Amino acid sequence: MKQNNRKKTVFLTSSPDASFQEAGEWVTGPFTEKNGFLERFRNACPKMPQVLLITATPDEKEKNREMEEYFSRVFAASRMDVKAMRLVEEATKEKISEWLGLSDVVILGGGHVPTQNRFFRQIGLKEKLFGFEGVVMGISAGSMNCADVVYAQPELAGEAKDPGYERYLDGLGLTRHNILPHYQMVKDYTLDGLRLMEQITYPDSMGKIFYALEDGSYILCADGHETLYGNAYRIADGELTMICQEGQMLSL
């Protein structure tokens, strides 16, 4: 089914906030101002939006409570008043249609891509988002699962060498691009004795294109156009190329 995306504004982020560490403790900051993100996000939202959070960890109640409290603080730090904030997890999944109909903003949280993908399919999110005309924000795994066909980059121990691990999944169809988040963090990672980028992702990119984003960078999908902002790299046919820098934009 072709998605009705011209009536949506979709932000595909690596990490959208400016939280920081102080004396070893995380301090919640506002949505980042890098590359104009906060301004564009605020302008896309109505005043006093109703926000729907959809978790990547449907069975982890404590982690989901922390997520809800965290985003309440981020919106407050961004001086964005929220009329209501609701969370879709395993215990509330039957509310998805009702709550989506009330919402102005949908936030797709970060986590393990295949786990979140299964939950999205379980609640029929792709079909339910078809008529949604508000703002969607993907974060990390949430952004990855927005693609038509999702590249589920191996992440957990054992996945890289598991012949049964599915690296390509049906996504939400909100973008035609594959996002790889947190590039500045993961570029030197190893998994199952393999270098994540050079020995796993680069070979997987043969005949494909992945976009690796640093935190603070994002893709904005609006009015049928997709625009990249901030530090980002194209990975295609086994090669990495920097295509956009801080403060710059690139039409995709």
Give the confidence band of 4 by pLDDT, cuts at 50, 70, 90: low
171 Cβ partners below 8 Å, 6+ apart? 117, 126, 144, 145, 146, 147, 148, 149, 150
Bigger pLDDT: 4 or 247?
A: 247
Task: Please give the single-letter amino acid code of residue 121.
Answer: R
The domain spans of the chain are 9-251
Q: Domain 9-251 maps to which CATH number in 3.40.50.880, 3.30.70.1290, 2.60.40.1220, 1.10.340.30?
A: 3.40.50.880
* Mean pLDDT for all residues in the chain: 94
DSSP label at residue 38? H
- Residue range 230-248: average pLDDT? 97
Bigger pLDDT: 21 or 140?
A: 140
- Residue range 69-81: average pLDDT? 94
- Residue range 153-162: average pLDDT? 96
Give the confidence band of 18 by pLDDT, cuts at 50, 70, 90: confident
Question: Measured in Å, how far apart are the chain's first and last C-alpha atoms?
Answer: 22
Confirm if 59 and 31 have CB atoms less than 8 A apart: no
Confirm if 18 and 29 have CB atoms less than 8 A apart: yes
pLDDT, tens only, 79-125: 999 999 999 999 999 999 999 999 999 999 999 999 999 999 999 99
pLDDT over threshold 50, residue 1:
no
DSSP label at residue 175? B
Q: CA 123 to CA 96: how far, in whole Å?
A: 7
Which residues are bridge partners to 31 per DSSP? Answer: 17
Going 117 to 54 to 252 to 127, the CA torsion angle's sign is: positive
State the pLDDT at residue 201.
97
Residue with tokens 């090669």: 239
State the pLDDT at residue 168.
97
pLDDT over threshold 70, residue 59:
yes
State the pLDDT at residue 197.
97
Q: CA 173 to CA 193: how far, in whole Å?
A: 33
pLDDT over threshold 90, residue 237:
yes
- Residue range 162-175: average pLDDT? 96
pLDDT over threshold 50, residue 54:
yes
pLDDT over threshold 50, residue 191:
yes
State the pLDDT at residue 24.
67
Confirm if 132 and 8 have CB atoms less than 8 A apart: yes
Q: Whole-structure pTM over 0.85, yes or no?
A: yes
State the pLDDT at residue 2.
44
**Phi, psi (5° rounding) for residue 231?**
-65, 120
State the pLDDT at residue 27.
75
Burial label, 236 (beta-carbon count in 10 A; 0-12, 13-18, 19+) = middle
DSSP label at residue 200? I
